[in-house]
Amino acid sequence: MKITDKIHRYSISERAIDGLCRLRVFCNDNNEIVALVTSVGNMNTGKSITNAIEYVIGGLVDSGDLPVETIFIEHYEKDYLGKDSFTLVKLNQNGSPAWKGIAEGKAIELLSCTKAEFSEPTLNNERLLNDLAVLNRNILPARDYDYSEFNDKLKRYIEIEKESISKRSILDLIEKGAKETAFLKLLGEDLSVFGEVHAHPEDDYIVFPEFPIGDGFVDFLILTSVSYMDVVLVEIKGADFNMFNQGHYDKPARNIEIACDQIRKRLRYIMDDLASFRKHIHNIRERVEAGESIHNSFIGPSDHLEVSSDKDIRIHTVVIGGRTVNDIEEAKKRHEYTSNQKMNLRLESWDTWVRKLKRD
């Protein structure tokens, strides 16, 4: 049974701007109190729920609003994978959080609710959206607000736009059937194209060209997302061939299979010691966010990712190459092929990938 569904305002310190999240409290079938703490994305005025969860939990318990034995679930709506993410959170004796990811089914079981509870995004709920708007107006003028962060982000937007390549320049390479080296050269001049297509949220990304992994490298690596960090490995080939062999639609072109094999080797190295790679990649992220240039890193408009180094990372792989001949038929074959690869693979022809670019 749901007891509460509201926008919750939380405080970290006297000097920090208060944050906002959605708070739903349930009494489940076992008479346990379960609190669902949901991110409100860009409508949050303060630190993300991941970076402030100990203050959210501590504030609710210390104020007496919730009992100390409350079960807390951190929740992000529709993310990069196209589904909600749920994480059980507990505070240790020192007040530090520990996370454990759970499936949606387990969250529904703990909450004793139905799947329909998550069918409407928070920002589509008029009541909650109005409450968020009111609290946004109340919080920001009430503080000695420092606009430097906003100004820095705007400045970065302008820098990126000024140096950006056009969509037309990529289309020209595709239309003339350019080879892999031409794409590597052009896209290497403006790594924001990968953030534009693959980042979520769209401003939160770090891109690396020729990122070393094991005894080789991937053409491009992208760090993005919130809470759990997404690590996207990208391998590209040219546009001088058709993605699927004509007359043999069940089989992709040899260049695509080579790219998949290359990325599989890099993935195998990562998975052999995932804990070490996670520590390594978070260390690199933190150094780049602190202003260090590593492996020719390129950071998006946000100067840091709202992710936690204590949480698991999620690995995605993308292969881009070749041309599309039959959109509908090849979409089915791409799905069938990637489903059999067992490495969370997205397969894109240059035709399908360039459509995702929003720039002119």
What are the tens digits of pLDDT across the range 269-315?
Answer: 999 999 999 999 999 999 999 999 999 999 999 888 989 888 889 99
CATH number for position 325: 3.40.91
Shared-domain flag, residues 138 and 154 = no
HSE toward the beta carbon, residue 269, CA cutoff 13 A = 14
Place 144 in a pLDDT band, splitting at 50, 70 and 90: very low
Are residues 214 and 343 located together in one domain of the fold? Answer: yes
3-state secondary structure 78-89: CCCCCCCEEEEE
How many domains are there within the chain?
2
Examine the domain organization and report whether 84 and 174 are in the same domain. no
Evaluate if residue 210 carries a pLDDT over 50: yes
User: Is residue 154 scored above 80 in pLDDT?
Assistant: no
How many CB atoms are closer than 10 A to CB 103?
Answer: 11
Q: 336 in a domain, yes or no? A: yes
- Strand duo 313-320 + 345-348: pairing: parallel
In a domain, 85, yes or no: yes
Residue from 95, 93, 96, 113 nearest 104 by CA: 113
Determine contact, residues 224/246, Cβ cutoff 8 Å.
Answer: no
Helix (H) or strand (E) holding 128: helix 126-142
pLDDT of 143: 46
Q: Is the pLDDT of residue 177 over 70?
A: yes
Residues in contact with 210: Cβ distance below 8 Å, sequence separation at least 6, in sequence order: 217, 218, 219, 220, 295, 296
φ, ψ for residue 219, nearest 5 deg: -60, -45
User: Which residue segment(s) compose the domain that 110 sits in?
Assistant: 2-142
**Assigned token pair, 323:** 């041309």
Same domain for 133 and 230, yes or no, is no
Q: Which of 133-142, 288-297, 306-315, 320-329 has the highest mean pLDDT?
A: 288-297
Query: How sure is the predictor about 209, in pLDDT bands with cuts at 50, 70 and 90?
Result: very high
Together in a domain, 109 and 242: no
The answer to whether residue 101 sits within a structural domain is yes
* Residue 118 and residue 40 in one domain: yes
Res 145: pLDDT: 46
DSSP summary character for residue 261: H
The per-residue pLDDT for range 74-94, each reduced to its tens digit, is 999 986 556 789 999 999 888
Over residues 107-127, the pLDDT tens digits come to 999 999 999 999 899 989 999
160 within domain boundaries: yes
pLDDT, tens digit, for every residue of 216-240? Answer: 999 999 999 988 899 999 999 999 9
Residues 16, 132: one domain? Answer: yes
Band of pLDDT at residue 136, cut at 50, 70 and 90: confident
- State if pTM tops 0.85: no
How confident is the model over 24-76, as pLDDT tens digits?
Answer: 999 999 999 999 999 998 888 888 899 899 999 999 999 999 999 999 999 99
C-alpha 287/C-alpha 339 separation (Å) is 35
The answer to the question of residue 221 being in a domain is yes
Residue 359 lies in a domain: no
* CA-wise closest residue to 22 among 119, 136, 108, 129: 129
| C-alpha span between 37 and 5 (Å, rounded) | 10
Tell me what the pLDDT averaged over the chain comes to.
90
**H or E element in which residue 243 lies:** none
Q: Does residue 360 belong to any structural domain of this protein?
A: no
Residue 185 lies in a domain: yes
From 104, 122, 142, the end of a domain falls on 142
| Stated length of the chain | 360
Residues 159 and 304 in one domain: yes
Closest CA to 185 of 196, 173, 175: 173
Confidence (pLDDT) at 227: 85
